[in-house]
Amino acid sequence: MSRKGWIVLLALAVVAVGWYAFRPERLLINQRVNEQFPAAAEKASAKDAPVALASGSFHEVAHKTTGIATIYRLPDGKRTLRLTSFETSNGPEVQVYLGVAPDARDNDTVTKAGFVTL
């Protein structure tokens, strides 16, 4: 194979690996999820209604993000996390952390306070 052929082959390999690593088409795809609250919670009487245990707002750190996260205890004792009015920008591997910091505006605060990846 000629030198030009190897250069073209190498360039194609670099483009393929770059495309796979960064997936630029995902920046153009919006996904909307609208799930119902668990059926048992919707049909429960007032005394068996889900109880809100804790809630907090999302902060913009690496991505523009808004919304509220609330943890509920269901009548059967299970807990569920409900995201309300949640919106975030597209990006590769966007992750949501549930943290215990009172005001987590930077990575150091979140890391020191502790978090769980959702």
pLDDT for 91 equals: 66
Global pTM value: 0.58
Instruction: Tell me how far apart the alpha carbons of residues 17 and 10 are, in angstroms, rounded to a whole number.
Output: 11
pLDDT for 6 equals: 92
pLDDT along the chain (118 residues), means of 10: 90 89 71 72 65 85 83 89 84 74 75 82
pLDDT for 11 equals: 93
Q: Starting from the edge strand earliest in sequence, which strands make up the sheet with 51-57, in order?
A: 51-57, 65-73, 79-88
Can you say whether the dihedral through the CA atoms of 47, 49, 50, 53 is positive or negative? negative
Q: What does the radius of gyration of the chain's CA atoms come to, in whole angstroms? A: 22
Helices (H) and strands (E) in the chain, counts: 3, 5
pLDDT for 13 equals: 93
Give the angle 112-113-118 at the CA atoms, nearest 5°. Answer: 110
pLDDT for 10 equals: 93
pLDDT for 41 equals: 46
Burial category of 103 from C-beta neighbours within 10 Å (exposed 0-12, middle 13-18, buried 19 and up): exposed
pLDDT for 27 equals: 66
Length of the chain: 118
Domain boundaries, the chain: 1-30, 31-117
Element (H, E) at 7: helix 3-22
